[in-house]
Amino acid sequence: MINFTDAVTLGTTRRTTDGFLTTVAKSVRTGIQLYAGSEVGRPDMRVVRVMRSADEVFSQDSLQSFSHAPITMGHPSVPVTADNWKELAAGEVSTAATKDGDWIALPLILKDSRAINRVESGEVRELSAGYTCELEFVDHADYDAIQKNIRINHLAIVDTARAGHEARIGDSWGTSPIHATDTEIKSMTLKTVMVDGIGSVETTDAGALAIAKL
């Protein structure tokens, strides 16, 4: 099991009569992302092309895992569970996640006043999805591995300055993701890289360095 995050800028927000903040954001998309082999347990490979297929992204189990997922301010150091939800959660996915083109659309509601103020002030405007999946290596001309069994844990509101305004992906839990435990977590910054035959792709700093060497 490996842990990932996706980041995407929040869209238009509005206040409810109770003062809660609601919005709809797109998170988790289909397509190919690039990683340095060391990031996904394959130090023998310089670059690993990871495919996230529509069948996996939009599977019923994947979509269902987003329902009522907690929203946190920043990625917590541990997964969100019933034991720590009260301390970590600032809101939740309010209704069912739905397919929107190549993305999953998520109706969100923030209920914590401090979190709402930070979003409305523009201090933090990115939604980063923390989730687990299995990574299956395959023999394919266009990619090296497939994400399977995608399951959401939480959605983090993070600083736009770190991730920019485009959707990104990066490993988040554990320095050795294939063997990461639930209590290991780290944040990573993503870059856009142009690759011949593929086009524009998102990858980590280490992945960008590996691609540059190639």
Tell me: the pLDDT tens digits for 4-40?
A: 555 555 667 789 999 999 988 877 778 887 878 887 7
Global confidence as pTM:
0.65
Give the model's pLDDT for residue 98: 86
Give the model's pLDDT for residue 199: 55
Give the model's pLDDT for residue 37: 85
Q: How far apart are CA 26 and CA 127, in angstroms?
A: 9
The predicted model gives 114-136 an average pLDDT of 83
Q: How far apart are CA 23 and CA 13, in angstroms?
A: 5
| The pair of three-digit structure tokens given for residue 181, joined into one six-digit string | 């435990």
Q: How far apart are CA 121 and CA 104, in angstroms?
A: 26
Which helix H or strand E contains 22, and what residues bound it? strand 21-29
Give the model's pLDDT for residue 120: 84
Give the burial class of 70: count Cβ atoms within 10 A of its Cβ; 0-12 exposed, 13-18 middle, 19 or more buried: buried
With a cut of 60, say whether residue 168 has pLDDT above it: no
Give the burial class of 209: count Cβ atoms within 10 A of its Cβ; 0-12 exposed, 13-18 middle, 19 or more buried: middle
Tens of pLDDT, residues 43-102: 999 999 989 899 998 999 988 998 899 999 988 888 999 999 999 999 999 888 888 888
Beta strands 47-52 and 145-158 are parallel
Q: How far apart are CA 49 and CA 103, in angstroms?
A: 19
Phi, psi for residue 148 in degrees, rounded to 5: -135, 155
Other CB atoms within a 10 A radius of the CB of residue 198 amount to 14
The predicted model gives 135-155 an average pLDDT of 92
